Structure 1
């Protein structure tokens, strides 16, 4: 508690605390949503199995308009990435001016972006690596003790469902420097173009094969991420003494087109427009009402992101703007802000391990012969929801107590001065390869069927690719090659 009080007292007055609250709320809602809709039963072989209850509860589909909060996470991710990238550029500019007294070299921006990518990877990679290593080790032990590799894979597949989100985010993060440059040049026109590309992808999968919309995995999340840039500009531009989002030597024309309107009028317009578009697209149009996957539906609004999901994102952004001022006043109180700091310190750990908590609890209850399997929608099923959530929270709290320190203790490496041209190019190439290894490993795991016989629970090539990428980024964070 003392540490939390210190962090709360040191929070700059200019920090947008609302962004941190939204991140914490988004992850909390994801966790509760996954736990709440999970149906536990037994397969034909008498082994525990699970699936989503949404297919049996069509009346609950409109509730997913609120429960689907991945757009919120990409929105606040865009805000945080823009703020941290610009702040690093400002620090590097100060280092360069202090070292030479001259203007920054033409290649300085590239070097700054590379350093930012390397540093940014730590908070994402360390907790994820811990999850994968632990799951692979546990799967190896189970296999050596005679467990069926197919069943081992099924359990690990369920535990790694959250990693599909990281695949998208680990693509968006390295694209932040060039996409932020586009934002500074063209402003809100960039997400408009991206939404148009999503619409073209949707037309392709509606009238043709689903693969025609594969690009929407990138275009949809980038569109929401770009809005985070615009929000960051709206918060920082023109504020005395704060230029964290926009370097003073790069002030572009058309500043207004880069800002996200933050007024209540704008919030009302976005909320209303998003809801109207959502009703037209789902009730009248061809899109499913549910914003989460429902077995049997031809279209999936999230895989890849659809126009309907972007309409949800628009409505959610409007609601966020409407609640921004009262939430900001509430967060000025020490108690609420300390709670937000505490959750954000382990927010990725909570997200990564919440389904592992479900696997452990189901396994324990099954071993004790006390696993309830009431029919979906029955009184017994609803009555089991509260004790189920509480038990899961206890298991997850234990996991966070063990693994949360890996995330909470992640620190940004000290700044280094400008590197030589050859060293900078090498670090940039290795950083790109590192991120590519992470994405390839996680993507291969997501694409591997849950019934594939995998003795390690994860495909061996996926594990090797991920660990290789993580190792390269760890080597770069240690300062290797920073001075040529």
Structure 2
């Protein structure tokens, strides 16, 4: 508690605390949503199995408009990435060092998860558990990684997309939304694969809105030096998101109206995956999800002022700090908590399997969520420090001092040494890109491998090797390897 109090007291006055609250709320809602819709039953052999209850609960489809909060995470991610990137550049750092630090916050807790899953699966396989059953458990435990794969594509693109934002403002997300609509059209008229680019275009569009929010809040003194610091344009080329209550109300009503029209037509009502539906609004993101994002953004703006006032109080802000310190750990381990609880209740002969939608099933949601919270709390206590200890490298880059100020000018260096520095910087950037590509490839391979595939490590061996290789390269680069010659 003393540490949280100290962190709260050191919070800069200009920090947008609301962004941190939204990040914490988004992850908590994802966790509660997954737990709430889990339908536990038994397969023909008597073993417990799980599926989504949504196909049996059509009355709950409109509730997914609130439960689908992945756009909120990309929105606040855009804000945070713009703020940290601008700060790093103002201190003399480069985009690669920024990217390596952002990647470490994501990959360290993910690596811990995958290693624990692989180790547990290997032990189970050696004990004689069927490889298909091992994979089923591993598949369920790694469901959250589909989101991480998408985010690990967006983050490396952030420096380039922020440059586009500084030049074209809100025209960028509008153009990306048009590309999403084209992808939806291709999905409707041709192979579903025509919409795969929407995984990038859709989440990038939401991420760009976070840039615009940050620029609307940034003080001129915090802007990094550069040629893009001219006053923001007006109209759709503005770089600043309108933050007024009037703008929030317009976005809320307009977004809701557009979403109602789209879901009354070719798009499903549910914003979460429903097996058997004609398409999934979130995988990949559809135009209907983007109009819903507009409505969610409007609601966020309407609640912003009272939320900021509430977060000026010490205890609420300390709670937000505490959740954000382990927010990715909570997200990554919440389904393992479900696996452990189901296994324990089944072993004890106390696992209830009431029909989905029945009064008994609905009543079981309360103790189910409470017990899962206890299990997850224990997992976070064990693995949360892996995430909480991850911080920026703190090294000066390109001749800067550790405090971020520029080094004093010295003797001019020869062209050969300058060429060497440029070559090393290019090689370092290429290796970082390769590391991220390997990690994303691994997560996609795992997501695409069927849940019934015989995988004695729980995840495909090729995916595990690619992930560890990519994460290892990024770790070496972050330690300073290859930055000196």
TM above 0.5, yes or no, is: yes
Structure 2 residues without counterparts, runs of 5 or longer:
400-420
How far apart, CA to CA, are the structure 1 residues paired with 2:233 and 2:88?
A: 21
- Aligned residue for 1:369, secondary structure, equals coil
How far apart, CA to CA, are the structure 1 residues paired with 2:422 and 2:190?
A: 48
1:90-169 to structure 2, matched below 5 A, reads 90-92=90-92, 112-169=94-151
Match of 2:168 among 170, 179, 186: 186
How far apart, CA to CA, are the structure 2 residues paired with 1:377 and 1:363?
A: 23
Instruction: Give the structure-2-normalised TM-score.
Output: 0.94
For the pair 1:392 / 2:372, whether they are aligned, the reply is: yes
Partner of 1:88: 88
Displacement of 1:237 in angstroms is 4.3
Counterpart contact for 1:40–1:51, Cα < 8 Å: yes
Counterpart contact for 2:167–2:228, Cα < 8 Å: no
1:267-306 to structure 2, matched below 5 A, reads 267-283=248-264, 285-306=265-286
Partner of 2:302: 322
How far apart, CA to CA, are the structure 2 residues paired with 1:213 and 1:432?
A: 24
Counterpart contact for 1:153–1:458, Cα < 8 Å: yes
Match of 1:261 among 242, 263, 277: 242
Match of 1:229 among 211, 225, 245: 211
How far apart, CA to CA, are the structure 1 residues paired with 2:452 and 2:367?
A: 30
Equivalent pairs counted in the alignment come to 461
Partner of 2:443: 442
- Aligned residue for 1:139, secondary structure, equals helix
Displacement of 1:248 in angstroms is 5.9
How far apart, CA to CA, are the structure 1 residues paired with 2:107 and 2:422?
A: 27
Counterpart contact for 1:267–1:318, Cα < 8 Å: yes
Displacement of 1:417 in angstroms is 3.1
Partner of 1:8: 8
Counterpart contact for 1:350–1:400, Cα < 8 Å: yes
Q: Deviations over 1:23-50 (max 9, x none)?
A: 0000000000000000000011211100
Q: Deviations over 1:237-275 (max 9, x none)?
A: 44xx433xx436541354441110000000000000000
Which runs of at least 4 in structure 1 moved beyond 6 Å after TM superposition?
none
For the pair 1:247 / 2:229, whether they are aligned, the reply is: no
How far apart, CA to CA, are the structure 2 residues paired with 1:294 and 1:386?
A: 23
Give the RMSD, CA atoms, in angstroms.
Answer: 1.1
How far apart, CA to CA, are the structure 1 residues paired with 2:383 and 2:351?
A: 27
Instruction: Give the structure-1-normalised TM-score.
Output: 0.94
Counterpart contact for 1:184–1:252, Cα < 8 Å: no
1:209-224 to structure 2, matched below 5 A, reads 209-224=191-206
- Aligned residue for 1:92, secondary structure, equals coil
Counterpart contact for 2:232–2:240, Cα < 8 Å: no
How far apart, CA to CA, are the structure 1 residues paired with 2:29 and 2:332?
A: 14
Partner of 2:476: 475
Counterpart contact for 2:249–2:302, Cα < 8 Å: yes
Displacement of 1:415 in angstroms is 2.2
- Aligned residue for 1:39, secondary structure, equals strand
Partner of 1:96: none
